[in-house]
């Protein structure tokens, strides 16, 4: 039952932190790998718990995609239910549309039977007119706006997912590195962690970033700010970098 002493907003925030913490636990090898279903089953406020599933989006698949967890029928049911209670908003931002679309596609991959009403995202080059050309250094910091947008798309930065967003991240790895550096210098560690995820993802996909992403991730972790979501971002980045290391090492196993 919802606690009447806790505001809905606080309850939702707590639920998001709690779910992020569970996903993080699964990444670190916790025994309970039925992350999503158990999160809702044991929640003090089931509706807030379902909202958290929607907020984390593709991140709830991180353990299974990184090989440290599973995603079973009970989890599928919970994600389906979360879309029923909180359907995609018609006026959702393009980033939210991409997150929902990715979640729905992953759900189908792991046993879901429909796309949950998630609309297909617009082509990345549609719309606002600035295009997706290579980073033009002399223009007015296109890397800054673009990297902030990619930070909002960071739940897509996972292994085993591909698409135009990932291709753009590979192509514009330099803009991501600039955005990550800017966030570090502004001590905005949550944004830095989101962008470190993309840099790690690009590395795993065979692009070599212009900076040492592992060092950046370690530094963000040592700051220990941003709560469970930032911890989850750095943990995912770390796993992808480890996987990239194994791939790049001569004779190392292929993931």
Q: List residues near another protein by CB under 8 A.
A: 124-132, 137-138, 140-146, 149-150, 165, 168, 172, 174, 177-178, 180-182, 184-186, 192, 210-212, 215-216, 219
Closest by Cα among 36, 41, 40 to 23:
36
Q: Is the CB of 91 or the CB of 140 nearer to another protein? A: 140
Q: Is the CB of 5 or the CB of 126 nearer to another protein? A: 126
Q: Measured between alpha carbons, how far is 183 from 199 in angstroms, rounded to an integer? A: 14
Q: Is the CB of 30 or the CB of 211 nearer to another protein? A: 211
Distances (CA, A) of 202 to 129, 209, 216: 25, 7, 15
Q: Is the CB of 69 or the CB of 179 nearer to another protein? A: 179
Q: Is the CB of 32 or the CB of 167 nearer to another protein? A: 167
CB-neighbour burial class of residue 93 (10 A; exposed 0-12, middle 13-18, buried 19+): exposed
To another protein, the closest distance from the beta carbon of 6 in angstroms equals 36
Distances (CA, A) of 34 to 19, 26, 27, 197, 217: 12, 9, 12, 24, 27
To another protein, the closest distance from the beta carbon of 63 in angstroms equals 28
Place of tokens 């950046």: 216
To another protein, the closest distance from the beta carbon of 7 in angstroms equals 32
Q: Measured between alpha carbons, how far is 22 from 87 in angstroms, rounded to an integer? A: 24
To another protein, the closest distance from the beta carbon of 207 in angstroms equals 15
To another protein, the closest distance from the beta carbon of 171 in angstroms equals 9
């Amino acid at each position: 039952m919802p606690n009447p002493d806790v505001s809905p907003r606080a309850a939702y925030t707590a639920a998001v932190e709690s779910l992020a913490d569970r996903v993080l636990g699964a990444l670190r090898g916790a025994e309970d790998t039925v992350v999503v279903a158990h999160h809702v089953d044991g929640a003090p406020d089931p509706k807030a718990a379902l909202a958290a599933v929607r907020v984390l989006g593709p991140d709830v698949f991180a353990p299974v995609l990184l090989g440290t967890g599973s995603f079973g029928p009970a989890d599928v049911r919970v994600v389906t239910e979360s879309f029923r209670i909180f359907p995609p908003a018609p006026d959702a931002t393009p980033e939210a549309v991409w997150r929902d679309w990715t979640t729905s596609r992953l759900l189908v991959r792991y046993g879901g039977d429909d796309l949950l009403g998630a609309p297909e995202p617009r082509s990345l080059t549609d719309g606002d007119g600035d295009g997706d050309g290579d980073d033009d250094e002399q223009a007015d910091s296109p890397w800054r706006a673009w990297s902030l947008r990619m930070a909002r798309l960071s739940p897509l930065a996972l292994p085993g997912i591909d698409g135009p967003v990932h291709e753009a991240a590979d192509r514009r790895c330099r803009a991501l590195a600039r955005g990550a550096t800017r966030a570090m210098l502004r001590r905005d560690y949550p944004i830095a962690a989101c962008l470190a995820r993309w840099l790690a993802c690009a590395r795993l996909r065979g692009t070599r970033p212009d900076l040492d992403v592992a060092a950046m991730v370690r530094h963000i972790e040592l700051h220990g700010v941003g709560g469970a979501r930032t911890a989850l971002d750095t943990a995912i980045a770390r796993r992808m970098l480890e996987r990239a290391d194994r791939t790049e090492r001569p004779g190392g196993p292929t993931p």
